[in-house]
Amino acid sequence: MLNQTDVQSDREVVITRIVDAPRELVFKAWTETKHIEQWFGPKGFTTRVVENDLRPGGQWCYIMVGPDGKEYPSKGVFREIVPLERVVATDEFGEGIEEVLDIDLPQGMVTTTTFEDLEGKTRLTIQIMHDTASDRRKHEEMGVIAGWNSSLDCLDELLAKQTEPQQNGFSVMLPSDQEILITRIFNAPRKLIFDAWTQPEHVKRWFGGCTSMIMTVCAIDLRVGGSWRYVLHDSSNAVEHGFSGEYQEIVSPARLVSTERYEPVPGSDRLNILTLTEQNGKTTLHIRIQHQSKEQRDGHLQSGMELGLRESLNRLEELLQFMYMETNAANQS
C-alpha cells in the first residue's frame, strides 16, 4: 500500500505506510513471534526469533538469514508497549554482525512504531532515532530505508492472507483511552443470544474460552441490583479465576449493563455494556468495556483478553446453533 519515507531531523528517519488491514491484525503481526518470522526482513530473507519478551524491560533478538546463508542478528530492549497503539524499543546490531558487515556501524538507535486506525486500515509509522546525524547517514548508506520497505512488502502479503472476509466480523477497537469495544456477528436471533448470555445452564457451556478452563460456579440473579459470579478452574495449573459484578440495567433482549471485577486483582472494577442489534436474522453483538484508567485498560488487553474472548464467542456460536435446532424442534412438535 501507500508508503512514505522522510527525514524529520538530522538524527531521525521516519517510514510511513498505509496497510490494508485492521489495526489489531497489524499489531499482532508486529508483536507475535509466529507472525514476525513470516514477514520480518527483506524479500528473499528468512528470520529466526531468538527472544521476544514483549514487556517494558523485556529483550528481543531476531536473526535475519540471507539467501546466501549469512546471518544478520539484531537485538534490543522494549521500553514501552501500548497495545494496538505503540511499541518503543532500543535497536542495535547483535554479536557476530561484524563477520558479515565489515563497516562502521551506527549505534544507539531507538525505534518507535505507532499504529493508527483508519476505518479498517492502519497507518503504520516507524520512527528510527539515532545518537548522531552521522549515525543516521551510516544507517541510510547501509540501505535501511530500502530494507524496511521490502520487509513491509512482505508484511502486506502476510496480512492480505489474514484479512480474507470473515463472516463473524470479530474485532477489538479502542474508542478512547479507557475503553475497549468488541464486535461480533452471530447468525442467530438476539433473543437466543440474550438467553445464552443470561441463563446459567447456557453460560456454563460457552464461557471461559480455553479448553483447560472448567466453570465451577455460575450464579446469576438477573435483576437490576442483582449480582452475578463466575469461577473458572484452570485444570492445567489448578488456579481459580473469579469474576463477579452487579446488574445496573436490563433491557431484554437488546441491552445489558453490569459491573465486573476480576477477583484476584483489587481495584479491577469496570463497566460492561452489552448491546444486541438484529437485522435479517443476524445479530451484531457489541461489548463496550469502560475502565477506570488507561493503565487498567492496557493491563486488561495484555492479559490475553482478546484471545480468550474470541474463543468464548466461538463456543457461544456453536451453542447457539444447537439452541436454534432445539427451538425449531420444539416448535414443530
The reply to whether the predicted model has a pTM over 0.75 is: no
The domain 171-332 belongs to what CATH superfamily? START domain (3.30.530.20)
Residue-level pLDDT at 26: 94
Q: Looking at residues 264-291, what average pLDDT do you find?
A: 95
State which fold the 3-162 domain adopts.
Answer: Alpha-D-Glucose-1,6-Bisphosphate; Chain A, domain 4 (3.30.530)
Give backbone dihedrals phi and psi of 73, rounded to 5 degrees, phi first.
-80, 145
Q: For 34-43, 176-185, 193-202, 207-216, which range has the lowest pLDDT when averaged over its residues? A: 207-216
Residue 7 binned pLDDT confidence (cut-offs 50, 70, 90): very low
By residue count, the chain amounts to 333
Most confident of 142-151, 218-227, 323-332: 218-227
Q: Are 16 and 124 in contact (CB under 8 A)?
A: yes
Euclidean distance between CA atoms 72 and 67, whole angstroms = 12
| Distance in angstroms (rounded) separating the CA atoms of residues 218 and 59 | 40
Residue in the block written with cell 488491514? 21
pLDDT over threshold 90, residue 124: yes
Name the residue with cell 509466529: 34
CA angle 69, 49, 117 (to 5 degrees): 120
Q: Are 163 and 21 in contact (CB under 8 A)?
A: yes
The CATH 3.30.530.20 portion of the chain extends over 3-162, 171-332
